[in-house]
Amino acid sequence: MKEIDQRVIEMANLMIDGQRTVREVAKIVGYCKSTVHHDLTTKLETIDYPLYLEVKSLLEYNKKVRHLRGGEATRLKYQSKSR
């Protein structure tokens, strides 16, 4: 197995095992989020299709709830400033 394939599978497993976002996985592996997203959405499909389907499902979920995460982050930011 090529080094790139191993990297892609490692990133996919990190994302699924911890229910992580692309940004969180990027911080862990040390790549930019664009690289992580590209690897998980294009390369993984040809490497391990069942794993790709799991990652795709998690990516879609994260996209649906991103406005909630952003709102919570803003609320916490201003809550800590008011103290």
Average pLDDT, integer, range 6-13: 96
* Average pLDDT score, the chain: 91
74 has a pLDDT exceeding 90: no
81 has a pLDDT exceeding 70: yes
Q: CA 20, 23, 26 angle in degrees (round to 5)? A: 95
35 has a pLDDT exceeding 70: yes
Position 83 confidence tier, pLDDT thresholds 50, 70, 90: low
Distance of CA 80 to the CA centre of its chain: 27
